[in-house]
């Protein structure tokens, strides 16, 4: 996973570069939590451009990071979501909590 931080906008972008499943979520979660604590952003964007698979563990991981950013007074967005993953987000109601945007800000 790659991260980008834009200090001017207090924007943190997580470019996820691997499948998100029960084998990888703990590593991804730790890295995201460390970056959120380090930068204290007002907005985080989860970039799914390179994600081809995600299971329920990934949904839980995203909701946890959403709760963290909300406690800091920030917002979260999803971008570059492939149709198969978008369908999962819609079925579980995640898009009602974290909106999908077309591109990074």
pLDDT tens-digit series, residues 54-101: 999 999 999 999 999 999 999 999 999 999 999 999 999 999 999 999
Q: What pLDDT is attached to residue 105?
A: 43
Domain ranges of the chain: 2-101
Q: Please name the residue ranges forming H helices in the chain.
A: 25-39, 56-71, 83-92
Model pTM score: 0.93
- Count of beta carbons in the 10 Å neighbourhood of residue 94: 19
Q: Would you say domain 2-101 falls under CATH 3.30.750.24?
A: yes
């Amino acid at each position: 996973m790659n991260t980008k931080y834009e200090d001017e906008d207090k924007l943190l972008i997580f470019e996820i570069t691997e499948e998100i499943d029960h084998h990888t979520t703990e590593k991804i979660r730790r890295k995201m939590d460390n970056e959120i604590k380090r930068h204290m952003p007002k907005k985080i964007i989860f970039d799914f451009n390179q994600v081809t698979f995600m299971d329920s563990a990934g949904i839980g991981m995203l909701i946890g990071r959403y709760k963290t950013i909300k406690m800091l007074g920030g917002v979260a967005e999803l971008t570059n979501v492939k149709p198969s993953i978008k369908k999962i987000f819609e079925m579980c109601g995640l898009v009602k909590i974290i909106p999908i945007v077309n591109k990074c800000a």
